[in-house]
A and B are shown apart, each in its own frame.
Chain A
Amino acid sequence: MSINQIICDKNDLIENSGVAAMVDGEQIAIFYLPTTEKKIFAISNWDPIGKANILSRGIVGDYEGKIVVSSPLYKQHFDLESGLCLEDEKAPVRTYSVSLKNDKVVMA
């Protein structure tokens, strides 16, 4: 994984929702929230509690001031900025730095 490595087109993203991407054998969930300051977030697609690669398919939103995705399996909230699970401190997920450059999603 290197800086400016292109992951996908901006068109592949879905507004206010997530998609999954495969980057060097790792599954990454990328969320596009155009109304937030950071606009684009990426965390691991692996749900450590549900034990499946599905976080990209959760509903995004805010929860007590944090921008989160809710696992589609058992509904725990994962903080998109820190990767922390709000319900279980022992179950954080990895975060990735990504950004938008010239209509491409790239590693930052």
Chain B
Amino acid sequence: MSKLKVVVVGNGMVGHHFVDQMIQSEINAEITVIGGETRPAYDRVHLSEVFAGKQPKDLYLTSREFYSDNGVEAHFGDPVADINRSEKRVITENGQSFEYDKLVLATGSYPFVPPIEGSDRDECLTYRTIDDLAEIKANAEDSKIGVVVGGGLLGLECANAVQNLGLETHVVEFAPGLMGVQLDEGGSKMLRRKIEALGVKVHTQKATTLINENGSTKLRMNFADDTHLDTDMIVFSAGIRPYDQLAKKADLEVGARGGIVVDYHCRTSDSDIYAIGECALFGNMIYGLVAPGYRMAEVAVNQLSDAEEKTSFKGADMSTKLKLLGVDVGSIGDAHGKSANSIGYTFSDEREEIYKRIIVSGDGKTLLGAVLVGDCSDYDTLLQYFLNGIELPEKPENMILPATDGSSAPTLGVSALPMAATICSCHNVSKGDIVASIDGGCCSLGDVKCETKAASGCGGCAALLKNVVDDEMEARGLTVDKSICEHFPHTREELYHMIRVGEIKSFTDLIHKHGKGLGCEICKPAVANILASTWNDHVLEDNHVGLQDTNDTFLANMQKDGTYSVVPRVPGGEIKPKQLIAIGQVGEQYGLYTKITGGQRVDLFGARLNQLPDIWKQLIDAGLETGHAYAKSLRTVKSCVGSTWCRYGVQDSVGTAIDIENRYKGLRSPHKIKMAVSGCTRECAEAQCKDVGIIATENGWNMYVCGNGGMKPRHADLFATDLTTETLIKYIDRFLMFYIKTADRLQRTSVWMGNLEGGLDYLKEVIIADSLGIAEELEQQMAHIISTYQCEWKTAIEDTEKLKRFRQFVNSKEEDANVIFVQERGQIRPANEDEKNERNAQTA
């Protein structure tokens, strides 16, 4: 069967989702993507975060490499100019031509700029693409005042961006109220009140007639009511219009007010051409949200497949919940109460600035719509009532009224939700999917999140997800046993608490008081680790030595043949030639295999147990110290070369990396910790895949947390921006100590944060705002660890008792005859089974 030629025009969020879904499907297709912008698809929804510290590349949803790795031909920056339907080909502006069997139009939309005289001036901008952002930023540099035209969702999002740039911000709206589509009059008024309190000036019912020059500022907007507003820059964000010119030129059916007409299979008037996303007009409506666009993309993929079950697009719920300028706003269904015979209930609190309204059916049984401003905590529950037609409680008004007699508002029993109920709309995860993941073995919120991706998009469904997971677990009679092992009926966090509060200094004491039996390979190292994070005694003290994993016992990493590898610390990756030579000499003298690690240091392999003390003596004499590569503790703080040498660097990343590595070296933690410091936004140290990532800005440091590489890579989240070095260190102190205090054994920071109710925001509250009042305590605990640091190897080689441990045999100087090396690429490697047999045959 020959491959189906599929050409996709447009590489926005929906166009990319289509390609992504095609790749995941088993459809035998040759896919060509033609994007008008010069860059591949990115997340437009979170555009304004670029002004709050994110990099444009943080928004990317894909890459050229991803496409080419998956056999997708991608062309960017050369928009399609024509569709030749009779020859079934598209032609780009530069004259490239591509044949198709099926064509998918995902051309998206463009910002509507009202036809006002003067709106083509240089200081008049739009807000839609990453390039637009760059222009807004450039214009803002010599501006004091910025006006956003448009008081809708996009306009307010844009106003947030303008305010973040430090400009006096105005919003000009033609209609009587803000967000007229989503909010009723009362909600709109409350929103205005809250936004004005934040310093944004709102002007409604203003029709701009002329934009001309003005003396003191760059521009003057003249309104139809003879008033005017002076400004330096104007951003139009007054709605979108579908990009349908291509379709028009090709004589496809187009709506009277724009939009390519599609049927419920997302097919246009030409059955070989599909249109999806914001360029498509379905049921005389443009769906300007990303979720419906994704659903359209999935329907189109289904159409191209030979799946027997055909799906269709039946319109989409446009309910939405978002934070605009920090204000919570929610809108569900018929927000304006236009349904026949509907009844409305309103709650308005002008002191707390909260407005809530629900619209219910005449019989009071079904929820038809809702408006929430200032408090969206009821949104999830209301939305589920609305989407699933769940019968309302007898007094529906209680759903939005604050608790007066100590009883809280009735929350929705999640068990009432049907299996088809969508819990996470970003990733289209239903209650059924969550139940299936629990059936499949997931037994914690974190597991379910990893498995289903629920709550990993906008995160708005996190609370609801938790309720569903808890409810399901309970229904199965599953109480998750979080005991660390059979010897202690406690979690790691509880053991930590017992050790610290009870001032317990040894495993024997702890198991005597709080456990039973002899212990095992799970609880012993975990307790040794907590004891070290708390009291910081040497790990080879008599009462700790038997607790350690072999790597900690011998302060080296055991390899497959029972030999060890040795890694000296190289703080920040900075090393003197002399020390490199010393490492080289040790490697040569003991015939070790040497390799550069990913953490900017050198690993020496093939050391026998009895060689370790001599090797370390030489390394310590050369000024090196232990690298803790064997421990659950801070490994490395990777750095780029930074402002000292690099043309682009804005801060001394090496110096900071060295200081940080020296500060936290030896700190025992629930799992290994990796950090990195980059000297500018080019991010050469790859800080965003570390537990703590630090990226220099012109004003200081941006701090990222909870990233990791490895089996399940995760990008770190932006935690705080433009910190001074002093504040940065303070936050890292608190962050690490809080992790050590509350994480499970062998839990990386990313999973730990995933399991914290409230996730990143909660972490910010604890670390930055000190919501638990423990910041000082955490800093003091860290200070103790730092002041009691010792190089474990230095202490070990000075103590003959400790050295006894490094004998291969207690009664013989013989060596382990099973350790056999062969040469490969001029260095040693362990012999494999065949090579060992051959060697033994020769000697026999």
**Interface residues of A, Cβ cutoff 8 Å to B:** 7-8, 12-17, 19-23, 27, 30, 33, 35-36, 46, 50-54, 57-64, 67-68, 70, 72-73, 75
Contacts and interface: CB of A to CB of B under 8 A. Distances in A.
Interface of B: 486-487, 517-521, 523-525, 542, 545-551, 553-554, 558, 560-562, 804-805, 807-812, 814, 816, 818, 833
Given A50-B560, A53-B562, A59-B547, A70 B520 contact: yes
A16 B551 CA distance: 17
Given A50-B560, A61-B524, A67 B518 contact: yes
A61 B560 contact: no
B507 to A, nearest CB: 9
Contacts of A50: 560
6 contacts: A17-B553, A19-B807, A20-B809, A21-B812, A57-B558, A59-B547
B545 to A, nearest CB: 6
Contacts of A70: 520-521
A64 B516 CA distance: 12
Nearest to A70: B521
Contacts of A68: 520
Contact of A27 (B549, B550, B561, B816): B816
A57 B521 contact: no
Contacts of A58: 521, 550
Given A12-B804, A15-B542, A52 B809 contact: no
Contacts of B487: 61-62
A72 B809 contact: no
B809 A61 contact: no
A73 B558 CA distance: 8
Main secondary structure on A side of the interface with B? strand
A7 B519 contact: no
B810 A54 contact: no
A59 B546 contact: yes
B107 to A, nearest CB: 55
A94 B548 CA distance: 25
A19 B525 CA distance: 18
Nearest to B551: A72
A61 B810 contact: no
B563 to A, nearest CB: 9
Contacts of B524: 59, 61
B520 A61 contact: yes
A8 B810 contact: yes
B549 A59 contact: yes
Contacts of B549: 59, 72
Nearest to A19: B810
A15 B545 CA distance: 9
Contact of B560 (A46, A52, A75): A52
Nearest to A28: B809
B526 to A, nearest CB: 11
B546 A54 contact: no
Contacts of B521: 58-59, 61, 70, 75
B809 A33 contact: no
B550 A62 contact: no
B520 A14 contact: no
Given A13-B810, A59-B546, A64-B486, 14 more contacts: A8-B810, A14-B545, A15-B546, A17-B546, A22-B814, A58-B521, A58-B550, A62-B517, A62-B518, A62-B519, A63-B486, A68-B520, A70-B520, A75-B521
Nearest to B830: A52
Given A12-B804, A59-B525, A20 B810 contact: yes
Nearest to A22: B812
- For the complex of A and B, the 8 pairs showing the least CB-CB separation, nearest first, are A61-B520, A72-B550, A17-B546, A70-B521, A52-B562, A16-B546, A22-B812, A12-B810
Contact of A54 (B486, B558, B804, B814): B558
Nearest to A13: B810
B808 A20 contact: yes
Q: Counting chain A CB atoms within 10 Å of each CB, which of B547, B811, B814 scores highest?
A: B811
Contacts of B550: 54, 57-59, 72
B93 to A, nearest CB: 60
A20 B809 CA distance: 5
B582 to A, nearest CB: 28
A22 B562 contact: no
Contacts of B486: 63-64
Contact of A73 (B560, B812, B833): B560
B818 A53 contact: yes
Nearest to A67: B518
A22 B520 contact: no
Contacts of A46: 818
Contacts of B810: 7-8, 12-13, 19-21, 30
A4 to B, nearest CB: 15
A14 B558 contact: no
Nearest to B810: A12
Contacts of A17: 545-546, 553
B518 A61 contact: yes
Contact of A33 (B518, B520, B560): B518
Contacts of A54: 550, 558, 562
A22 B811 contact: yes
A52 B546 contact: no
Q: Counting chain B CB atoms within 10 Å of each CB, which of A17, A46, A59, A63 scores highest?
A: A59
Contacts of A73: 558, 560, 562
A31 to B, nearest CB: 10
Contact of B809 (A22, A36, A60): A22
A35 B808 contact: no
B750 to A, nearest CB: 24
A8 B807 CA distance: 13
Contacts of A60: 518, 546
Contacts of B558: 54, 57, 72-73
A35 B519 CA distance: 12
A73 B542 CA distance: 23
Contacts of A59: 520-521, 524-525, 546-550
Contact of A62 (B520, B807, B816): B520
A74 to B, nearest CB: 10
A84 to B, nearest CB: 17
Contacts of A8: 810-811
A69 to B, nearest CB: 9
Nearest to A17: B546
Contacts of B545: 14, 17
A52 B833 CA distance: 11
B520 A57 contact: no
A52 B554 contact: no
Q: Counting chain A CB atoms within 10 Å of each CB, which of B520, B523, B545, B804 scores highest?
A: B520
A54 B812 CA distance: 16
A99 B563 CA distance: 29
A68 B520 CA distance: 8
Contacts of A51: 833
A7 B558 CA distance: 26
A53 B807 CA distance: 14
B816 A53 contact: yes
A29 to B, nearest CB: 11
Contacts of A30: 810
A80 to B, nearest CB: 11
A67 B550 CA distance: 18
A68 B519 CA distance: 10
Contacts of B523: 61
Nearest to B525: A59
A52 B525 contact: no
Q: Counting chain A CB atoms within 10 Å of each CB, which of B546, B548, B553 scores highest?
A: B546
A52 B487 CA distance: 29
A50 to B, nearest CB: 7
